[in-house]
Amino acid sequence: MTDAAVPPRDRLHRQPGDGWVDCRCGRRHWGLFGAAGLLLVRRGADGRPTHVVLQHRATWSDQGGTWALPGGAIAPGESAVAGALREAHEEAGIDPSTVAVRGEHVLAHPDWSYTTVLADEAGHVVPAVTDAESTAVEWVPVDQVTARPLLTAFADAWPELRARIGG
């Protein structure tokens, strides 16, 4: 099989935790050991959130064409925070040294979980597309997040996440 014939996901940096979980909730979820994403927040001089980093998901991915957090499957033995920081670096070029982790929000399913790692920009961050999983990665004004077509689970979680970051 030539490289051009290999689906884009199969050309990516594969992790031991990559794979689908058939959950008793009736859905399939990505990440054999769960998944995590980074909600990176830029704050104004008054401490209020002004922007968050969002990833425009490649059309070939699950719910492709939607916007969500950079993130993905957690590797065996990897913490959710480490997984989210690794994925944000791989997918959006975010240097973990420019991130100040503030907390976690866990969405627990019967057989799987997704952890949103809440963090503030601690150094200058210029997010960029750094792999095939994204078509764009941008700082999005907090008040404009819901104007974009969002990944379903992220859209559902956004009101609570916004409250948690102080929006």
Is residue 6 included in any domain, yes or no? Answer: no
Is residue 104 included in any domain, yes or no? Answer: yes
Centre a 10 Å sphere on the Cβ of residue 88 and count the other Cβ atoms it contains.
31
Convert the pLDDT of each residue in 86-104 to its tens digit. Answer: 999 999 999 999 999 999 9
Domain of residue 41 covers: 13-165
CA neighbor of 134 nearest in space, from 39, 53, 80, 78: 53
Mean pLDDT of 158-166: 95
Say whether pLDDT at 139 is over 60: yes
Residue 146 sits in a domain of what CATH number? Answer: 3.90.79.10
- The amino acid that residue 36 corresponds to is A
- Total number of domains in the chain: 1
Is residue 159 included in any domain, yes or no? Answer: yes
Convert the pLDDT of each residue in 45-86 to its tens digit. Answer: 999 999 999 999 887 777 778 899 998 889 889 999 999 999
**What average pLDDT is seen over the chain?**
85
Is residue 3 included in any domain, yes or no? Answer: no
Is residue 98 included in any domain, yes or no? Answer: yes
d(CA 99, CA 1): 40
Is residue 114 included in any domain, yes or no? Answer: yes
Is residue 37 included in any domain, yes or no? Answer: yes
Is residue 131 included in any domain, yes or no? Answer: yes
CA neighbor of 116 nearest in space, from 78, 150, 76, 68: 68
Say whether pLDDT at 21 is over 70: no
